[in-house]
Amino acid sequence: MANGVFGNWIVKNLIWAVVFVAALLTAVMLALGAFTHHGQQIAVPDMTNMSVAEAQRLAADNGIVALVTDSVYVRRMEKGAVYSQNPKAGSTVKKNRKIRLTINAVVPKQVTVPDLVGLSMRQAKAELASRGLSLGQLVYVSDIATNNVLKQIYRNREIKAGTTVPSGAEIDLVVGLNSEDSKTFIPNVVGMKYLRAVDVIHDNSLNINRLTFDASVKNYRDSLNAVVTSQAPGASNLPVPMGQDVSLRLALPAE
């Protein structure tokens, strides 16, 4: 009887159809996993300060692609060197991910200053970065809204939105300070690279008073690789006034 059932061509075809569909689904899942590099995560290397050729070689060695998509102009930095990258170093990405590089232009590119008045300090900082500009000093004045941008300053003069300045220029912000919400905390930036440390200091509504580089730092490229060895005042959980100055000492890390 069993032989009669399995000998039936309809039953045989159904069994083969089920087997075929299962095998096809397995093959598709395996191919999809290989195509999307499922589970493969690559740590993005730090390409800042490198030449474009060096950055692209390093990217290729790590299974990713580096593309130049923008430029800024930093006078002290080597021309043509990588100024920043997106995603940032340390981010995890899939194989063949494109990493966008911003390089230091050979000649200054002119950019327009955005309208920052009315934005929060962090929004203004992000807007400046998106235009290839930098946050300079935070100048706090009494106002109902803390960290609300009241004025934008360039070279000690108020500057209007739409004015052109060299890419990489520093824009100071006059921001509000409510007496009921005027305190912040000093973060620990020891061990951080130069630009990252400055970024964290600003994010905590503080100013950079002095940057001191030791003898190991001989040029701007070295300064970008330098790490903070000490800070004054040191990190503390005690509240301090917003706008307080922080001084940093930096050196190239020991190899």
- Each residue's pLDDT, cut to its tens digit, for the chain (255 residues) gives 445 544 566 766 667 777 777 777 776 666 655 555 555 789 999 998 899 999 999 999 999 999 999 887 776 788 899 988 999 888 899 999 999 999 988 887 889 999 999 999 999 999 999 998 999 999 999 999 999 999 999 999 999 999 999 888 999 999 999 988 889 999 999 999 999 999 999 999 999 999 999 998 887 778 889 999 999 999 999 999 999 999 999 999 987
Cβ–Cβ < 8 Å for 172, 153: yes
Give Cβ neighbours of residue 194 (< 8 Å, ≥ 6 apart): 211, 223, 224, 225, 226, 227, 228, 250
pLDDT of residue 4: 52
Say how far apart CA 65 and CA 154 lie, in whole Å. Answer: 37
pLDDT of residue 83: 86
Give per-residue pLDDT as tens, 17-31: 777 777 777 766 666
pLDDT of residue 219: 77
Decide whether 42-104 matches 182-255 in CATH topology. yes
Residue 239, phi then psi, degrees to nearest 5: -65, 145
* Percent over 90 (pLDDT), the chain: 64
Average pLDDT, the chain: 88
- According to CATH, the topology of domain 42-104 is Trypsin Inhibitor V; Chain A (3.30.10)
pTM: 0.61
Which top CATH class is 182-255? alpha beta
Residue ranges per structural domain of the chain: 2-36, 42-104, 110-180, 182-255
pLDDT of residue 181: 84
Coil, strand or helix at 7: helix
Q: Architecture of domain 110-180 in CATH?
A: 2-Layer Sandwich (3.30)
